[in-house]
Amino acid sequence: MRAVGLITEYNPLHNGHLYHLTQAKQRTGADCTVVVMSGNWLQRGEPAILDKWTRTQLALDAGADLVIELPVFYATQPAHLFARGGVELLTALGCDSLVFGAEHPDLDFGQLMAAFPNGREAFKQYNATYATLFNAALKTATGQALTKANDMLGFCYYVANQHLGGQLKLVPIKRQGADHNDDRLSAAQFASGTAIRQAALQHQWAALAPVVPAATLMQLQTQHLTQWADFWPYLHYQLLTTTVERSGQFDQMAEGLEYRLREMAQGATSFTAFLQQVKSKRYTYTRLQRVATALLLQLTATEVQTAQAHNYVRVLGFNQIGQTYLHQVKKDLSLPLYTKINQKLRLHEMALDYRVGRVYELINGQSQDLYRRPLIKSN
């Protein structure tokens, strides 16, 4: 069997994702679709609106064959590290190709990478905080800047794939409909995740019906929709009681930012107000949300970097095709394979994902990890 890989968040799964899933098999002729999906905490530094098990079920209903969790130590990182974690998992699982959405799929991402050979070093130097500086360096080297989120992520996939041996054939497809950050819903078939989440939180079900599968709409209507506001009291407590010395150790914390966070937390009454007070030209909202995520979840830079050197395959769900493919490749896996978190794993190998799942449970109210087994979709 041949497999095509997708790296996703499905926050929540909408018609654009459905198109992506359909096109992946059509364009590659693969037998199995392997989806690497972020868990309950996402790349933009926010909690998923629906928990990972609900989103796994929606992915299987939409046509995914095998769903693997992208661990939190990659899922909440800047684009180059998010891409590296996903590409590493797809490579370990023996996928032949990676299909991804891009605003400009006609760009020659491979040529851009070849013309910018120090791309990996530039990522280390500039990181996500300095996207403007990175793009300036890229444009100087190649004459091309990547100003759209999915184009940049596509470039990161190419860099990660080259670093890991170039096993995957990368296939960009045109992102359908709204821009990544477009917060407007229209009568069209496609809408951005941002607009869909905003509409769901306002219970605009009639407006959502044309742009999401029926199964997604039902879950949005019947489940608690998780957002940063739910966690603000817990984050606020951390900000007020954690020493600045301890705060300085958290993942992605820039030097001096811990003092600003502590100061602005004193009078903040909501997460939104807090971000607005901390925001400056130096820090994007996304960067600040990722730092807030690390602080809330108590993720230090040291333990995140240590965990990134020990990636693993955590299975969230599969159908018969996915189960057959997993059986085919598991004897050759270069990474550990886990189907549930037991007492040993929660204390050691999977300690970070278990910890962040427990925090999500404070709002979600449902066990996210301990003894949870993969979802099985019968054909």
Which residues define the annotated binding site for ATP? Answer: 7-20, 101, 150, 175
Bridge partners, 38 (sequence order)? 70
Could you tell me if 37 and 10 are in contact, meaning their C-beta atoms sit under 8 angstroms apart? yes
Going by C-alpha positions, the residue among 30, 46, 44, 37 that lies closest to residue 6 is 37
Cβ neighbours, 10 Å, residue 106: 7
The token pair that represents 289 in the structure block: 């949300």
**Dihedral sign (CA 353, 355, 358, 362):** negative
Furthest-apart CA pair in the chain: how many Å?
58
Burial class of residue 260 in the structure, from the number of CB atoms within 10 Å of its CB (0-12 exposed, 13-18 middle, 19+ buried): middle
H/E element, 14:
none
Cα separation, 130 vs 179, whole angstroms: 22
**If you count them, how many residues does the chain have?**
379
List the binding residues: 7-20, 101, 150, 175
